[in-house]
C-alpha cells in the first residue's frame, strides 16, 4: 500500500488562524483518484523544523505533498528547507524568472526584487508548473519519497494538483486504480438509526460502509476496490431500501443542483419568499443555476398557515412564476412552509424540538425542509412527511 502524506506549512495554519481548506480538498481529491492519504502533518514557519520533518517523512512515505511557503516573503521557507534536507543549494530557475517577469509586465506592473526568491529551487529538483500564479512549484526525490512542493493559494494549489501532480503520480504508479464509491444522502434520520439498519448488511470483501454526518444531512458511502464494483452494485439497492423516504439524492450532485436541473427540464420557474431562512434558499438555488424569478427576504411577521398560503398564491400572480416557495418566521419553535404549484397548493406548519443548534444550522435545516418539499412534488411523491425531530402540526392542500 502506498503511503501518501501531506505537509501543511505556516504559523497561521498551525495556530488555527486560518482553516486548512487545502488539506480537506486534497484528501478528498486524492481518495477519488486512488491515492488515499495515510497521514497529515502541520509545521510552522521554522526552517529547522521544516527540514527535520522533510527528512523524517521522506524515510517513511512514498509520496509527500507540501503545501505553502513558496511566497516572496521571509517567512516562506519551503524551498530553503527542502534544499537543507537534501543537502544541496538553491539555484535560480531562469525560465521561471522570465515567466514571472512576463506575468507582471502583462499586467502593467514591475516585479518587486523580492519575487526573484520564488524562482529559487533546490539543485536537481524538477519545476512543477503553476499556470495561474507566481510561486514556482517543484518536485524532488528524497530518501524513499517523491515530494511535491505547492503554493498555499487554494486556486493555484488545486490546479497544480489536478493538472501537474496527479498526472505524474499516474505515470509513476500505473497500477493504482481509483476506488468505487457509491453515495447517497439522507435527510431526517439519525446516523445511529441508519447504522442500526445497515450493520447486518453483508458486504463484499474489501468493501466498507461509511457515514458522514453534516447537519442536517447524513451521507451513506459504500467504498471498495474497482474489482468489486459489480458486487457493490448488487448490494446498493438494499442500502437505498434502508434509506427509504429519507433519501434525497444519490451521487455528489447536491439537492440544489438536482432541483435546478429538474426545474429546467420541466420547464418551471420559481419565486421565493423567505423570512427565517434569510435568503439562504435563493443563494443555494441561484448558485446552482435554478430558474428563479422574484426572490424576497422579509422581516419576521406573525402569520397563520392560511395567511402564508394566501401570500404564496398572491406571489405567483405577482411574479408570473409557475411555482412559489414561502418560508415563514420561526415562532415558538414553529414555522410555516408553503409550496404553490400549477396544480395546487401545499401548506405545512412544522414544530421543531428544543433549540439545540446555532442559528445558521437551524436556518439550513429549514432550507432543507423547504427544498425537500419541492423535490418531493417534482418527483410526484407526497409533499408532506415527518422528519424525526421535526413534527408536522398542521397541513393542508388545496
194 and 236 co-located in one domain: yes
Q: How many CA atoms lie within 13 A of 325 on its CB side?
A: 26
Q: Are 249 and 214 in contact (CB under 8 A)?
A: no
pLDDT in tens, 229-260: 999 999 999 999 999 888 999 998 899 999 99
- Contact present, 149 and 70 (Cβ < 8 Å): yes
Residue 387, pLDDT > 70, answer no
Query: What CATH code is carried by the domain that includes residue 228?
Result: 3.30.70.2860
- The beta strand positions in 282-358, using DSSP E, are 292-297, 323-327, 334-341, 344-352
Do 242 and 259 lie in one domain? The reply is no
| Helices 280-287 and 359-378: angle between axes, nearest 10 degrees | 60
One domain, residues 204 and 266: no
| Rounded CA separation 116/377 (Å) | 60
Please provide the average confidence, as pLDDT, over all residues in the chain.
92
Specify whether 223 is located in the same domain as 294. no
Higher pLDDT, 302 or 158: 158
Angle, helices 255-265/359-378, rounded to nearest 10 degrees:
30
Q: Which of 102, 137, 172 is the last residue of a domain?
A: 172
Those residues whose C-beta lies under 8 Å from the C-beta of residue 368, and which sit 6 or more positions away, are: 187, 216, 217, 255
Domain match, 37 and 113 both: yes
- Cis upstream peptide for 216 (omega within 30°): yes
Secondary structure (3-state) at 187: strand
The three-point CA angle 236-240-243 to 5° equals 140
Any idea what the CATH number is for the domain that residue 289 is in?
3.90.950.20
Instruction: Classify 6 as helix, strand or coil.
Output: strand
Averaged pLDDT, 322-326: 95
pLDDT digits (tens, 9 = 90+) for 266-304: 999 999 999 999 999 999 999 999 999 988 999 988 899
Residue 176: all three cell numbers together: 493504482
pLDDT at 216: 81
Cα 231 from Cα 96, distance rounded (Å): 50
Q: Are residues 237 and 263 in the same domain?
A: no
Last residue of a domain, one of 250, 265, 291: 250
Same-domain check for residues 43 and 167 = yes
How many domains are contained in the chain? 3
**240 and 340 housed in the same domain:** no
pLDDT in tens, 103-139: 999 999 999 999 999 999 999 999 999 999 899 999 9
Q: Residue 59 and residue 63: Cα distance in Å, rounded? A: 10
Q: For residues 62-74, give the mean pLDDT.
A: 96
Residue 77 cell numbers, joined: 521557507
Q: Find the distance separating the first CA and the last CA of the chain, reported in whole Å.
A: 60
Q: For residue 113, what is the domain's CATH number?
A: 3.40.980.10
Strand duo 137-142 + 126-128: pairing: antiparallel
Q: How confident is the model at residue 170 (pLDDT cuts 50, 70, 90)?
A: very high
Q: Which of residues 250, 274, 293 is at a domain's end?
A: 250
Are 244 and 264 found together in one domain? no
pLDDT more than 70, % of the chain: 98
> Are 17 and 153 members of one domain?
yes
Are both 388 and 325 inside the same structural domain? yes
- What 3-state DSSP class applies to 124? coil
Instruction: Record the pTM.
Output: 0.76
Cβ neighbours of residue 102 closer than 8 Å, sequence gap 6 or more: none
Quick check: 179 and 224 in contact, CB under 8 A?
yes
Domain assignment of residue 199, given as a range: 180-250
* φ, ψ dihedrals at 324, nearest 5°: -135, 140
* 293, burial (CB in 10 Å: exposed 0-12, middle 13-18, buried 19+): middle
268/391 same-domain check:
yes
Q: 382 falls in which pLDDT band (50, 70, 90)?
A: confident
Q: Which residues are CB-neighbours of 1 under 8 A, at least 6 positions away?
A: 38
Segment 220-230 mean pLDDT: 93
CA–CA dist 243, 227 (Å, integer): 25
Amino acid at each position: 500500500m502506498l503511503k501518501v502524506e501531506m505537509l501543511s506549512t505556516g504559523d497561521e495554519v498551525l495556530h488555527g488562524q486560518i482553516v486548512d481548506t487545502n488539506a480537506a480538498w486534497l484528501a478528498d481529491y486524492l481518495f477519488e483518484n486512488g491515492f488515499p492519504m495515510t497521514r497529515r502533518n502541520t509545521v510552522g514557519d521554522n526552517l529547522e523544523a521544516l527540514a527535520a520533518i522533510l527528512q523524517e517523512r521522506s524515510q517513511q512515505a512514498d509520496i509527500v505533498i507540501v503545501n505553502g511557503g513558496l511566497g516572496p516573503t521571509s517567512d516562506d521557507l519551503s524551498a530553503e528547507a527542502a534544499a537543507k534536507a537534501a543537502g544541496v543549494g538553491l539555484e535560480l530557475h531562469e525560465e521561471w524568472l522570465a515567466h514571472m517577469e512576463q506575468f507582471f509586465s502583462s499586467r502593467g506592473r514591475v516585479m518587486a526584487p523580492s519575487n526573484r526568491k520564488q524562482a529559487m529551487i533546490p539543485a536537481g529538483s524538477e519545476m512543477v508548473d503553476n499556470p495561474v500564479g507566481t510561486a514556482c512549484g517543484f518536485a524532488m526525490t528524497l530518501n524513499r519519497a517523491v515530494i511535491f512542493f505547492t503554493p498555499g493559494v487554494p486556486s493555484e494549489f488545486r490546479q497544480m494538483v489536478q493538472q501537474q501532480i496527479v498526472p505524474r503520480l499516474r505515470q509513476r504508479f500505473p497500477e493504482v486504480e481509483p476506488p468505487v464509491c457509491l453515495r447517497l444522502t439522507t435527510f431526517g434520520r439519525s446516523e445511529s438509526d441508519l447504522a442500526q439498519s445497515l450493520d447486518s448488511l453483508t458486504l463484499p470483501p474489501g468493501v466498507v460502509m461509511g457515514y458522514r454526518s453534516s447537519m442536517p444531512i447524513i451521507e451513506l458511502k459504500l467504498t471498495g476496490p474497482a474489482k468489486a464494483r459489480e458486487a457493490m452494485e448488487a448490494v446498493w439497492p438494499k442500502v437505498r431500501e434502508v434509506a427509504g423516504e429519507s433519501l434525497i439524492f444519490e451521487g455528489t450532485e447536491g439537492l440544489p443542483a438536482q432541483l435546478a436541473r429538474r426545474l429546467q427540464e420541466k420547464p418551471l420557474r420559481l419565486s421565493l419568499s423567505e423570512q427565517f431562512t434569510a435568503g439562504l434558499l435563493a443563494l443555494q438555488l441561484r448558485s446552482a443555476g435554478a430558474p428563479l424569478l422574484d426572490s424576497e427576504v422579509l422581516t419576521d411577521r406573525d402569520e397563520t398557515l392560511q395567511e402564508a398560503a394566501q401570500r404564496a398564491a398572491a406571489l405567483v400572480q405577482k411574479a408570473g412564476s409557475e411555482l412559489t416557495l414561502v418560508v415563514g418566521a420561526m415562532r415558538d419553535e414553529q414555522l410555516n412552509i408553503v409550496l404553490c404549484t400549477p396544480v395546487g397548493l401545499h401548506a405545512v406548519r412544522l414544530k421543531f424540538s428544543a433549540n439545540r443548534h446555532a442559528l445558521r444550522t437551524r436556518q439550513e435545516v429549514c432550507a432543507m425542509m423547504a427544498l425537500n418539499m419541492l423535490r418531493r412534488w417534482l418527483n410526484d411523491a407526497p409533499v408532506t412527511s415527518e422528519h424525526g425531530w421535526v413534527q408536522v402540526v398542521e397541513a393542508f392542500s388545496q
